[in-house]
Amino acid sequence: MRPDHIARLASRLDDDSRAGALRALVNNAAIQLNSPVEALPLSEWRRQFEVNLFGHIAVTQAPLPALLRHSGRVVNISSVGGRVAMATYGPYAGTKFALAAVSDSLRRELAPLGVRVVVVEPGAVRTEMSDRLITTANRLAAAMSPEQRDRYGRLIQATNAHSATHIKRGRPADGAARLIAKAVTAGKPRTRYTVGRDAALITRLSRVLPDRMLDRILAAGLRPHYPRTAMA
């Protein structure tokens, strides 16, 4: 997050004659650091939240006066990880759960003032971020202690393999973009949109299943991806 850039944005938006009417803000910036909770250094936790949560809040605060003047819209790109947190997804999912909560509060604050807030929750989407996910997970795993690698090595390999398979079957980025455009332009937008059948399914399951049953379903989906040997 660059506070100086955000300050310049706010200054420019103060003058509608220069910037024009601001109708919508789409918050899409994110990084994904997959790691067991125990093993991820606090500095990396803070970096994850700085980009995925605090950056969104800062970029929302700056143009809100302009959005209020023109009955605009805020669209926050969350994730199915903002509904269900799989093993090793704690840092990323933590930011997305938090973003969903902030979005709910913001929606209730701004609805009487004429600004609508929408959350988009993608499942697997084929993007450059997806390609970087496994590389980053392996980098973080390499920095773990021998004891942590012994505890979590096979789990990390399984989640990496599961992610790679899931991403290959994911929705093209242009399909996700069309749905985001709908969230921006719909006359009466829903409060939430899911992207992809996987996101729709897991969102429904998370609403109706007990936690332990959902745990078993997620574990069963991960089981075929476990390696026969532990991570070196």
Is residue 232 domain-resident?
no
For residue 37, being part of any structural domain is answered with yes
Catalytic sites, residue numbers? 92
Give me the CATH number covering residue 205: 3.40.50.720
Entry pTM: 0.88
199 and 119 Cβ atoms separated by less than 8 Å: no
Domain membership flag for residue 211? yes
Number of other residues whose CB lies within 10 A of the CB of residue 157: 19
Residue 231 within any structural domain of the chain: no
Side-chain half-sphere of 117: how many Cα atoms within 13 Å? 22
Q: What is the pLDDT along the chain (232 residues), one digit of tens a residue?
A: 677 777 777 777 766 555 567 899 999 999 999 999 999 999 999 999 999 999 999 999 999 999 999 999 999 999 999 999 999 999 999 999 999 999 999 999 999 999 999 999 998 887 766 668 888 999 999 999 999 999 999 999 999 999 888 888 778 888 889 999 999 999 999 999 999 888 899 899 999 999 999 999 999 999 999 997 655 5
- Residue 191 within a domain: yes
Question: Cα separation of 72 and 81, whole Å?
Answer: 27
Q: Which residues of 101-119 are buried (b: 16+ CB within 10 A; e: fewer)?
A: ebbeebbeebeeeebbbbb
In a domain, 110, yes or no: yes
Number of structural domains found in the chain:
1
Burial class (CB in 10 A: 0-12, 13-18, 19+), 195: buried
> Does 94 reside within a domain?
yes
Q: Which structural domain, as residue segments, surrounds residue 16?
A: 3-225
Task: Tell me if 230 is assigned to some domain.
Answer: no
